[in-house]
Amino acid sequence: PVLWRDDIVTDGNLLAYDLQVAMQAYCEEYGVPYALALAVADVESRFDPEAASGTNDYGLMQINQVNHGWLMEEGIDPMTPTGNIEAGVLMLSQHLTRYGDTEKALMAYNCGPTGAKRLWDAGTYRTDYSGKVMARFTHWTSILEG
């Protein structure tokens, strides 16, 4: 199978070939659909490994600083491009396993489990964020299968 493609581009940003290979490997390792990881990286950073937010989120997968400690204890450095991808894919995997629902997993990824639970308790099961990622998931699925 092809491990990298020249059409993994958003807003003119090509996801670097080495990062495509790393993302595919982590998706396989953690059981996350590659198109879903692409969708999260697309929405979170537009494939910019140097992205940083005003709320202490970093890298392609926008890993919040609050998670850096436990990730480092797991041997994952979320401040390197490949470590950031591994961290994001690992967290997606954990949420998918815990909640058994892609939209709920995305809400937990974006808001944290506590924030997502507050939304669910209030009857909200889709956010602008989860909707955007699901739309990009559909897009990337069609690209990868096309």
Rounded average pLDDT over 5-28? 94
pLDDT band at 4 (very low <50, low <70, confident <90, very high): confident
Q: What per-residue confidence (pLDDT) applies to 2?
A: 63
Q: What per-residue confidence (pLDDT) applies to 146?
A: 79
Structure tokens at 81: 């491009």
Rounded average pLDDT over 7-27? 94
Give percent above pLDDT 70 in the chain.
99
pLDDT in tens, 106-125: 999 999 999 999 999 999 99
pLDDT in tens, 64-83: 999 999 999 999 999 999 99
Amino acid code (one letter) for 16:
A
Flag whether the pTM goes above 0.75: yes
Q: Where are the alpha helices (DSSP H) in 12-127?
A: 17-30, 34-45, 68-73, 81-99, 102-121
Tell me the pLDDT of the chain averaged across its residues.
96
Provide CB contacts within 8 A for 49, sequence distance 6+.
16, 19, 59, 60, 81, 84
Q: What per-residue confidence (pLDDT) applies to 49?
A: 96
Q: What per-residue confidence (pLDDT) applies to 3?
A: 75
